[in-house]
Amino acid sequence: MKIEEDHLGPGSERIAPALRDAINARRVTLAWLHERLRERGNTVSMATLSYWRSGARRPEGAQSVAALSDIESLLDLEAGALTGLLGRSHRTGPVGSARFPLGAIDVERAVTDAYAAFGVPYPSTSREVTTHSVTDVGSDGNVAVSSIRSIVQATVGTTRAIPFLEMTPGIDAPAPRFTAVAGGHLGALYSHPSGQVHGGLFELDAPITAPDTTIVEWSITYPPGYPPTRESGYAVSRQCRELLLWIRFHPDALPDWCDERVETPAGSVDTPVSVDRGRSVHLVHRAFGPGAVELRWGYGPRE
């Protein structure tokens, strides 16, 4: 099994001298250490051990940390003598390539126009690690407000602002009201002439540099006169570790049916779901994306 690639980082200058001193004190060679690790099932290479000793690279990832822990044992060091010097990881983790989550070319063009208007690169250089989207349905059975809370990570360079967009494929809708709740403020608003894409540029309270994260919260309110909406969903252009949708129905508007639609590059899948005793539906997807998850509901026969 391949050891994860290691990277330069703040832990390198602390681990390297400690590792060199321990090797010298034990009067062993890197070749001896490599062989003992191999016997224990750790396939760290001689080159990697040399990098760690020189400080050119630092251990990263679970397998590398396991190897470092074995090195502590082999060199008669106390547990944590080396691993305790690592500090926080500087890996972003698997990011994956970005991909527009919906199969609508005209909507993607509208999204690229929105990014251009905001002056940010498309696709985004940030990703949503975890997103919780909570939608409240009014007494008329239509969406009233959606609140979104996300842990966002910078994947490249420094991120100062993030576009959040509302997409209505095939529907010319007016702009809903966007509100920055926490973690930043709205620096700009945008509405595409097609009426299918509206959004705001969420400027962070403090910039984040890869692989740092921040937490943001924002909401969308649908004013009176907005087209009746009996669906709520969320789309991500990169894999999200956890995507949660929680739809809460007014007690006077419990639906007769609900369907979950999951759209990914592999296609769309519809699944009937039931409203729980708390008058709500929650959908959880882990390691999800690129793609979109949507809940649709109705009254009377299923559409």
200 vs 1, more confident: 200
Quick: pLDDT tens for 104-122: 889 999 999 999 999 999 9
Mean model confidence pLDDT for the chain: 88
The per-residue pLDDT for 95 is 60
Say whether 9 sits in a helix, a strand or coil. Answer: coil
Parallel, antiparallel or unpaired: strands 126-137 and 240-249 = parallel
CATH number of 105-298: 2.40.50, 1.10.8, 2.60.40, 3.10.350?
2.60.40
- Residue written as token pair 């690229």: 112
- Could you give the CA distance from residue 51 to residue 121 in angstroms, rounded to a whole number? 35
Give exposure, 29-60, as e/b (b: 16+ Cβ within 10 Å).
eeeebbebbeeeebebeeebbebbbebebbbb
- Could you give the CA distance from residue 187 to residue 197 in angstroms, rounded to a whole number? 17
Evaluate if residue 61 carries a pLDDT over 70: no
Quick: pLDDT tens for 195-246: 999 999 999 999 998 888 999 999 999 987 788 999 999 999 998 989 999 9
Quick: pLDDT tens for 2-55: 333 344 444 456 788 999 999 999 999 999 999 998 888 788 889 889 888 888
CATH 1.10.260 occupies which residues in the chain?
12-85
Mean pLDDT of 153-171: 92
Q: How many CB atoms are closer than 10 A to CB 223?
A: 10
- Residue written as token pair 């002056």: 119
Q: Order the strands of the 197-209 sheet from edge to edge.
A: 158-167, 197-209, 184-191
- Residue written as token pair 């305790």: 84
Evaluate if residue 124 carries a pLDDT over 50: yes
291 vs 92, more confident: 291
Mean pLDDT of 64-76: 86
pTM over 0.85: no
CATH 2.60.40 occupies which residues in the chain?
105-298
CATH number of 12-85: 1.10.260, 1.10.3470, 3.90.640, 3.30.1380?
1.10.260
The per-residue pLDDT for 11 is 46
